[in-house]
Amino acid sequence: MSLIPKKGTIFVVDDDEAVRDSLQWLLEGKDYRVRCYDSAENFLARYDSREVACLVVDIRMTGMSGLELQDRLIELSSPLPIVFITGHGDVPMAVNSMKKGAMDFIQKPFDETALVALIDRMLDHAKISFASAQASASRDALLGKLTSREAQVLERIVAGRLNKQIADDLGISIKTVEAHRANIMEKLSANTVADLLKIALKN
């Protein structure tokens, strides 16, 4: 039997030790990997955005609140799915958090079955979000290899401009455009160019 949890990583951030212990016991019993933090600050100090995971966080905590942590993760462009733990009076705040992208909120005391089902949905969402973020980062890294002129040519290729039109736009010869196109294809994969074209068509 494997000692590695099968279902993914759950970050639990709550300044109430009893709540952390309860969630850790419940989720580890369901074969999740659980990492607990007693503050948002401690979580941020150790957070690795490359890990596929989801976050369960209390709205009200001493120091940085759960909502402030959400804002910080948004600033970091983190793909981490979030669910908030709330007391009865926090429901309006939790609804506001969902407008900012939180997946859901759960009220104390927890319904264990509903919580586990929610965690499963969050991890499914996390896998998709993290794959998309990785693909985007990979594209950005490849695009960073282009010269400014190659980037200008690529922008027009993606916009559907023909070589002659690109040459006119940039005041260069068609042969120079062709040379830039060849350099672009050498530096970027065909799939990357195709992805950029798809993004342009969606927009």
Max Cα–Cα distance, the chain, nearest Å? 71
> How many C-beta atoms surround the C-beta of residue 153 within 10 A?
26
Q: Mark whether 15 and 96 lie in a shared domain.
A: yes
User: For residues 71 and 179, what is the distance between their CA atoms, to the nearest angstrom?
Assistant: 45
Indicate whether 47 and 128 sit together in one domain.
yes
State yes or no: pLDDT of 182 exceeds 90. Answer: no
Total tally of structural domains belonging to the chain: 2
Q: Are residues 32 and 129 in the same domain?
A: yes
Q: Provide the pLDDT for residue 60.
A: 87
Euclidean distance between the first and the last CA atom of the chain, given in angstroms as a whole number: 48
Please indicate, yes or no, whether residues 123 and 150 belong to a single structural domain of this protein: no
Q: Quick one: CA dihedral 142, 148, 151, 153, positive or negative?
A: negative
**Integer Rg of the chain from CA:** 23
Task: Specify if 3 maps to a domain.
Answer: no
On the question of pLDDT at 194 being above 60, the answer is yes
Tens digits of residue pLDDT in 29-76: 888 999 999 999 999 999 987 788 899 999 889 899 998 999 999 898
Distance CA 15, CA 62 (A): 7
* The predicted structure's pLDDT at residue 2: 42
Whether 192 has a pLDDT exceeding 80, the answer reads no
Task: Give residue 103's pLDDT band: very low, low, confident or very high (50, 70, 90).
Answer: confident
pLDDT tens digits for range 117-174? 888 888 888 888 777 766 676 677 767 777 888 888 888 888 888 888 988 888 898 8
What is the spatial distance between Cα 201 and Cα 203, in angstroms, rounded to a whole number?
A: 5
Please compute the mean of the pLDDT values over residues 184-188 and round it to a whole number. 77
Contact (CB, 8 A) for 126 and 53: yes
Same domain, 45 and 108: yes
22 vs 142: which has the higher pLDDT: 22
Q: Do the beta carbons of residue 200 and residue 159 sit within 8 Å?
A: yes
Separation of CA 80 from chain center:
5
